[in-house]
Structure formats: C-alpha cells, structure tokens
Amino acid sequence: MGRALGANAKAVAVFETTPGTVPGSGAAWGKIPFVSHSLGEERGLLPSDLLGQGREMLDPVSDVANNDGDFVVPVDVRNFGKWLKLFMGAPATTGAAGAFTHVFTSGGAALPSMSIEIGAPEVPAFSVHRGVRGNQMRIPMQRSGLLNATLSMIAIGETDPVAATVGAASPTEMAVLRFPQAVGYVKKDGVALGSVVSAGLTFSNDLEKIETIQPDGRIEDSDPGQAMMSGDIVVRFKDTLLLDAASTSPPTPVALEFGWALGAYSLIFSLPRVFLPRPKRPITGPKGIQATFNWQGSGALGHVLTATLSNDVTSY
C-alpha cells in the first residue's frame, strides 16, 4: 500500500444500459484520458435544532447526497467522440476502410448515461460514479497551448471504494492524438475570419436534477432541458465584418464554424444560426483595439449545434 498519486490514477468508462446501474466487467469498458476531475459524492451534515437539552451541541444528522463536478479532457481525434456521444447522443456514422465520419447533433429527446470508475491503484481503491450525464461542455480557443474541454457533469451517485476494479481488468484503449490549438480556425458564413485573438464555445443541456425522495438520499436522475449554445469571439478591430452583422435591427443571424484539422482527421462544430450583439470597442492604450462578441446560438430552424468528427474509429 502507498499514497495515491494523480499520475497513476486510472479512469475507465462505459455507457449504461439502465441509467444509474453499473454494467458488469463483461461490458465495453474503455480507458479515458483526462487532465483532471472533480466528481465525487458529497453528503453534508445538518446541525441539531433541538432546544431544552442544555448548551452543548447535539449530534448532527446526514443530509442528501450530491455528485456534481467537472472532467477536463483533451480534445483528441478518437476518445473525444465518447464525450460528444454523452452530450448529444449516438452519431450518424458513414465511411469505411479506416476513414469514418461521425455526425453528432444536439436536441435529442433522450441522452445516454455513463458509469465512470476512478481508481487509485496504490491504496488500492476503486469507486464508480454512476448515472453520469453531460450538462455543460466548454472549449476555449487560442493561438497556442493545449486544447482541452471542461465537461460539467451530474451523476446519480458514487459507489463505496473497493480494493479491485469494478470495470474490466483490461479495458479497451484508443491511442491519444490531440488536436493542437495551433491548427484551429473560425469561419463566418463559410469564410475564414481573420484577426481572431481568441474564442470560446459553450454547449449546455441545461440538466435538471430529479430530486425525488429516495431511501439512499440520492437524486433519481437528471433530465435534459433546452439545448443551448453560446460563446465569444475576440477580434482585432480592423474591419466591420462582424460589427455589421451585429448592428442590424432586427438582428441578422450568421453561420459560425469552429474547427481543428490534423492530417486526415478533423473536428468541426457547426452553428447554422448565431446572433451577435453589438459590442463596445474600448481603447485602453496606444496599441491595437479589440472587440469581444458574446454570441448566442439558436436552434429555431434545426439543430443549434452539429459536431462532425472524422477519424479512424469504426463506431461509438
């Protein structure tokens, strides 16, 4: 036995057949690469409110359990498809001979759930977060650095730690090939935007916890609300291309595309109907002037978001 180290932490996951029910070791468990995570079941204590028992505080009682948190994961060629499936459902897949295209669309009536096991082999201790659903996905874009996504998730509960893995002892593993920030691009109406300093996109399922009375104090599940898309684009002020679209009344929607390509592989987020607000253009010094457009997506005429992942994975 030893002290647990993050460098040796193990994370495996599998999609659930029944939400909240952990599949057995014979299910399709797969290793998931991650940067950090903050999932974990918490159960608070309620202080006693009794009077007439003297001045000494009495024993507290347990409150309900909650398991919310973030998973920070690399935006990579293969494994990121699992997270897109968690947030938007199974894709429509086409292709053959190692070249496949997976198209994920927002707004599905039902979303899948996942069991995620986190293990500290030094202790050893393995616990499973069950009934995990994807609430919010945030991806920042910039000129350089590592491309990661922050996934905010809601789980039904977490199993008590045990000394051996509950998932497969030998889970499947897909090689990690990360998309670099340096190959990212932003397009408006099919044309690449210039002078983009940074950008960000946030997709939300607006999950609602089903907080019914349960004998274990946990939530029953979480249900999806509206699929929503928002973000920002920071540009050097050198033309009025975006400003013109933001200055019409009523607002004129534009199509935005955020993408990364690496050889034959690519990931594209397409938003066919986006509204831009009219921004300030503050001048804070002698150098360049920048403008920030905090945009909002709309699914009034279709899907608010379509994510297209091209890789060599047969299916998700």
For 87-140, what is each residue's pLDDT tens digit?
Answer: 999 999 999 999 999 999 999 999 999 999 999 988 999 999 999 999 999 999
Q: 170 pLDDT band (50/70/90 cuts)?
A: confident
Residue 286 has pLDDT above 90, yes or no: no
pLDDT in tens, 205-241: 999 999 999 999 999 999 999 999 999 999 886 666 7
Residue 280 has pLDDT above 70, yes or no: no
Question: Do you find a cis peptide bond into 250, omega within 30 degrees of 0?
Answer: yes
Residue 288 has pLDDT above 90, yes or no: no
Task: Provide the percentage of residues in the chain whose pLDDT is more than 90.
Answer: 79
Average pLDDT score, the chain: 92
Looking at the chain, the number of H-run helices and the number of E-run strands are: 2, 21
Average pLDDT over residues 53-82: 96
Average pLDDT over residues 172-180: 95
Residue 284 has pLDDT above 70, yes or no: no
Higher-pLDDT residue of 288, 66: 66
Rounded-to-integer distance, Cα 114 and Cα 133, Å: 7
Residue 245 has pLDDT above 80, yes or no: no
The HSE-up count of residue 121 (CA atoms within 13 Å, CB side) is 7
Task: Provide the percentage of residues in the chain whose pLDDT is more than 70.
Answer: 93
Q: 251 pLDDT band (50/70/90 cuts)?
A: confident
Q: Are 271 and 305 in contact (CB under 8 A)?
A: yes
Which helix (H) or strand (E) is 71 found in, with range? strand 61-74
Residue 281 has pLDDT above 80, yes or no: no
For the purposes of burial, counting CB atoms within 10 Å of the CB of 207, is it exposed (0-12), middle (13-18) or buried (19 or more)?
buried
